Amino acid sequence: MVLTISVSASKQLNKKIIRVSAFFNEQVGCIKNNIMKRILVTGGAGFIGSHLCERLLNEGNDVICLDNYFTGQKQNIAHLLSNPYFEVVRHDVTAPYFVEVDEIFNLACPASPVHYQYNPIKTVKTSVMGAINMLGLAKRIKAKILQASTSEVYGNPEQHPQKETYWGHVNPIGPRSCYDEGKRCAETLFVNYHEQNNVRIKIIRIFNTYGPRMHPNDGRVVSNFIVQALRGENITMYGTGEQTRSFQYVDDLVEGMIRMMNTGDEIAGPVNIGNPGEFTMLELAEKVIKMTGTSSKIVFEPLPTDDPLQRKPDISLAKKTLDWEPKVNLDEGLARTIAFFKTVVK
């Protein structure tokens, strides 16, 4: 049967089709530009992972959050569960996992020294076997994959600030080595899968990041000091407090992660993502004490073994490659983080 249609009827029909598709596009806004990507975030229920999932969903993507809840919490992602484009999978990255996605952000790994030293063998397995499993998946499904590496690959650095070209100064048998060497090996695996199997990789080296949704018992310095100050407990200063760190607010990191993932295949990294503002732990404690108005006192405790004495990112590469630099300074980020902890600390 041949369907004949007059020119005017054809124009009418076209108008109707345009109206219907405009209605459809309004209802499912993200489909209209064909920008919806399916994205896997391992460690998605953790501090950084939950912010990343939220941002990716807000940008109209379909997000799968994978986590074994070792240090992550369902509470971090509870507000995302009503979004039909958000799925949660309880899984351990040390076991293979298969799913069809366009991109993988590999964040699964405990990040606080207290937590990664709790079961060091498991920490190495998570970094190394987790990387192998996720890279194998990326290879099979031809997905882009980003590794959340760390400034810890520089160890107790002898070069300051740290550039990506610096090979680091890591004790391979110290208490931090399960994390540092695990992450270094993961970088090696990423580079090898890229060179041997053409997997499209992205490596970022994240410097100390803080913000809302850090666990109150996380053990890292920003959350420890704020929680101690809000409870009126002693502020635990390890060592003399002269050691330095450069603290980055979580929103700045998430922006850097997304920009890195969106680079062309020729950009593999590693790229430092951090805030170059450098502070001693004494300066940090003084800020927290002032901003919370606490009567807490600083008490000095021994410096943990191999605790790096200084850390500050050189972010020239991120500026050049990603047109990225942090926007939130420490005072502003601490104010937002203190406001969050006031809602959770009893």
Show the binding pattern over residues 236-265: x = contacts ligand UDP (CB under 6 A), - = does not: xxx----x-x--------------------
Distance CA 311, CA 44 (A): 26
Nearest to 89 by CA among 71, 67, 72: 67
Picked from ligand NAD, ligand UDP, none, the partner binding residue 150 (CB below 5 to 8 A depending on kind) is ligand NAD
Nearer to ligand UDP, 278 or 307 (CB): 307
Picked from ligand NAD, ligand UDP, none, the partner binding residue 307 (CB below 5 to 8 A depending on kind) is ligand UDP
Nearer to ligand NAD, 254 or 289 (CB): 254
Picked from ligand NAD, ligand UDP, none, the partner binding residue 236 (CB below 5 to 8 A depending on kind) is ligand UDP
Do 67 and 90 form a contact (C-beta atoms < 8 A)? yes
Applying the rule CB under 6 A, the residues between 269 and 328 that interact with ligand UDP are 281, 303-304, 307
Query: CB of residue 226 vs ligand NAD: minimum separation in angstroms?
Result: 15
DSSP letters along 36-66, please? --EEEEETTTSHHHHHHHHHHHHTT-EEEEE
**Is 179 known to be catalytic?**
yes
Whole-angstrom Cα Rg for the chain: 23
Query: CB of residue 329 vs ligand NAD: minimum separation in angstroms?
Result: 17
Nearer to ligand UDP, 85 or 279 (CB): 279
Query: CB of residue 72 vs ligand NAD: minimum separation in angstroms?
Result: 2
Sign of CA dihedral 249, 168, 271, 137: negative
Which residue in the list 116, 179, 193, 210 is annotated as catalytic? 179
Picked from ligand UDP, ligand NAD, none, the partner binding residue 224 (CB below 5 to 8 A depending on kind) is ligand UDP
Applying the rule CB under 6 A, the residues between 188 and 217 that interact with ligand UDP are 208
Do 67 and 108 form a contact (C-beta atoms < 8 A)? yes
Do 252 and 330 form a contact (C-beta atoms < 8 A)? no
Nearer to ligand UDP, 184 or 220 (CB): 220
Q: Rule CB under 6 A: is residue 72 a binding residue for ligand UDP?
A: no
Eight-state DSSP code of residue 74: G
Residue bearing tokens 């309004």:
26
Would you report the helix, strand and coil content of the chain in percent, each value rounded to 5? 45, 15, 40
Nearer to ligand NAD, 221 or 338 (CB): 221
Nearest to 337 by CA among 219, 227, 184, 188: 227
Total residue count of the chain as it appears in this document: 346
Which sequence positions are flagged as catalytic? 179
